Chain A
Amino acid sequence: MVQYNFKKITVVPTGKDFIDIILSRTQRQTPTVVHKGYAISRIRQFYMRKVKYTQQNFHDKLSTIIEEFPRLDDIHPFYGDLLHVLYNKDHYKLALGQINTARNLIGKIAKDYVKLLKYGDSLYRCKSLKVAALGRMCTVIKRVGPSLAYLEQIRQHMARLPSIDPNTRTILICGYPNVGKSSFINKITRADVDVQPYAFTTKSLFVGHTDYKYLRYQVIDTPGILDRPFEDRNIIEMCSITALAHLRASVLFFLDISGSCGYSVAQQAALFHSIKSLFMNKPLIIVCNKTDLQALEGISEDDMKLVMEMKAEAMKTLIGQGGEPTNDEGVLLTMSTLTEEGVIAVKNAACERLLDQRVELKMKSKKLNDCLNRFHVAMPKPRDQKERPPCIPEAVLEAKAKKAEQAAEKQKKLERDLENENGGAGVYSASLRKHYILANDEWKEDIMPEILDGHNVYDFVDPDILQRLEELEREEGMHQEHEADDFEMDGAELTPEEQEALAEIRKKKRLIVQQHRIKKSTAESRPTVPRKFDKDKQFTSERMGRQLSTLGLDPTLAINRARSKSRGRKRERSIDKGNQNGTDDMDVDGDQPNKKLRLRSRSLSRSRSRSKSRPPYEVLPGEGLKDSAQKKKAIKLAEKSHNKRNKDARKGEADRVIPTLRPKHLFSGKRSTGKTDRR
């Protein structure tokens, strides 16, 4: 069911507005900057784009207008006629045609000017061409301006038309003006139509909706019709005529018996007869309204006769439909909208008649045959009085009975019940193993370990694991036998003393390597002190003696030699003093005038010096000391009294020298912030 809704048509702008819109859009949406220094192709492109863009926009907008306005030939004839009645078909078509031509013209203009622009040789020429193109397009639209205005007006009016569905159940109300049609529609639907004492209060069609037997009915209120020849009718009357002509509805012809509408019954009857051709094939009901003013029985003879004539006509339509001719109550009805008496009856009658007609029509149509079998169950005609109930086998009956009694006596125990019995959701945890299918039901509660000795047990599970294990053990047995044959030959072993020697060798090697590593790592930070100034007393003759003796040699010779070679200054001097007067038995050469020669001779004579070195604590006769202990003490005191100069290249007390006590850079200068109390 297509909804005839003309509200969705876009607004049609006036000519001037149209031009403004399009031109401003062109200005905004296309690039705006071009200089005469650009490449000519770029300039051409720029202006071509503008022309094309404008044309495109015009085209689009005009196309929407043309497409959105309904084509009078394509819509339901009711609407076609209605629109014709309201707006004049020809004018309408003409307007749309003009719009179409305008569109084509603009297209042509654009094409021509684009062709010209392709050969524009300067910015000024291209610009002029563009201006000309746009100007012409705008002129076209200006000329079409009145059509646009007309279409806009039509659009506004169309939007306000009532949305009547021409295919659904409709009830049409017609009659002279002021007979009470709008009051009736106000009564039965939610529509709120103007009701006024003057004629032609209702100037157009109005729609209301009402329900009957769970179905929705459209109720259409028409403007009053006067009894005039067809050609003389005005637009308003033509609306109702159109409705009558095209809508398949049940018609309620309203009759004002009292004549308070200003027209007599005779006039109304005349109208009825003039338009009765329109009532063809439509369920017709004659409604006598305003019975509160004048009852139907109370009218004059002539009027009664006229009314009966009308009723006869109405009956004809009834018979023509194939309905029961006996029921004539649904043809002529009386009511009063003021007192609301008989209103519902009228509505019901109208709806009923319409429904019957529609159903009958549907029955006759071909489509219904398809669904007819769904409504109808074919029953074979019984040939005799014998009862033939359906045959159910015994077993099934028994099973059903048993099930029924089982269900009656005990309901299936659910897990939920079990849970509730055993303490509820948090307390009871369902045994998931209950329904396990195992070879032996005793195994259901078995817990199988998953991990054993750092292995996953599931990885080992195998039905023929025993067999494989047996093979493995057999293999293992074989291997072990073979292994027993293998025997390792023991090579020549070292004796314990040799082993001792080897251990000693290795120890020594290790020590050497260790010491070398230490020396290497500290080489940069260690002062290189000559051996004669060794602080740690590493290179003593005693040590040398010890080492030599562990090697198995006699060290005395070596020690003596070493001792004789090493002569301290003191000993030298003391020896010299002793030689001042005469020569010692050790001195070979006596007086030497030259210091150098003396020194030289001393070094020469060194080799022939003492054959035996004396330990320092040995008391020499003539020294004036009692015994070696005293001598030792004396030597100690002597050493302590003076500061022995350390010759191992370390900084001593004397080296703590401050070259400048108050350097200028530390004791001068101002601070940026703060006091200079501290320096």
Chain B
Amino acid sequence: MRLEKCWFCSSTVYPGHGIQFVRNDAKIFRFCRSKCHKNFKMKRNPRKVKWTKAYRRVHGKDMTQDATFEFERKRNRPERYDRHVAEETLKAIKKIDKVRVDREARHHEKRMKGKKAQVQKEAAKELEQSIHMVKAPAVLQKEPSLTLPKVYQKQTEDRMVE
């Protein structure tokens, strides 16, 4: 029993899920769900479809090369069973996972580094330019701060009584 990778979105296909398509040249395409399958049938390139891992890797959104990926390699030769090796492997898998997640997070941080400053700058600019939509220019002249004006309250009650 093996967990496979979906050809389109690169998510894991668990046993009992998905569809496998074998082409005439004996290449096997595995899909995790009908969404990927249908996209494949439409001949879409996963590198151009935003939500796939392939796109994210190609466009630098996710980590591509790392030492943690080297640990997971499909071996074709069966190894003789050794309890100690099995134990170590199981423990190691968890640690490797943690490391990998940390590294991915770091990659993400690096990517988003300048975002905050940029957002603030944009906000300030927008505020300055469009303040006229919420504050009349006359009021702005009197009060040059970029805040909401005080809502004008009419004192008409006495007039009405008259």
Contacts and interface: CB of A to CB of B under 8 A. Distances in A.
- Say if A and B assemble together: yes
Interface of A: 436-440, 443, 446, 448-463, 465-466, 468-469, 472-473, 475-476, 479, 483, 488-495, 497-498, 500-502, 504-506, 508-509, 548-556
9 contacts: A438-B80, A448-B86, A456-B2, A461-B85, A472-B99, A491-B120, A491-B121, A550-B151, A551-B134
B147 A469 contact: no
Nearest to A489: B117
Given A443-B81, A551-B136, A453 B97 contact: yes
A508 B146 contact: no
Interface in B1-42: 1-3, 12
Nearest to A475: B67
A551 B135 contact: yes
B124 interface: yes
B147 A500 contact: yes
**Top 8 closest A-B pairs, CB basis?**
A552-B149, A552-B139, A549-B152, A497-B147, A551-B136, A491-B117, A505-B130, A504-B134
Contact of B89 (A454, A465, A479, A502): A465
A466 B139 contact: no
B110 to A, nearest CB: 9
| Contact-residue bracket for chain B | 35 or more
Contacts of B79: 461
Contacts of A452: 90, 93-94
B43 to A, nearest CB: 29
A56 B2 CA distance: 72
Contact of A501 (B86, B131, B153): B131
Contacts of A472: 67-68, 96, 99
Most chain A beta-carbon contacts within 10 A, residue among B96, B102, B156: B96
A457 B124 CA distance: 53
Residue from A458, A492, A548, A551 having most chain B Cβ neighbours under 10 A: A551
Contacts of A451: 1, 3
Contacts of B120: 491-494
B138 interface: yes
Q: Most A CB atoms within 10 A — which of B12, B85, B103? A: B85
Given A500-B147, A552-B139, 16 more contacts: A452-B94, A456-B2, A456-B74, A460-B92, A460-B96, A461-B85, A462-B71, A466-B92, A468-B71, A472-B96, A473-B99, A489-B117, A505-B134, A550-B134, A552-B136, A552-B138
Contacts of A468: 71
Contact of A498 (B73, B85, B113, B146): B146
Contacts of B116: 488, 490-491
A501 B148 contact: yes
A509 B136 contact: no
A458 to B, nearest CB: 7
A454 B12 contact: yes
Interface string B60-85: 00000001100111110001111101
A459 B96 contact: no
A454 B81 CA distance: 22
B123 interface: yes
Contacts of B149: 550-552
Contacts of A552: 135-136, 138-139, 149-152
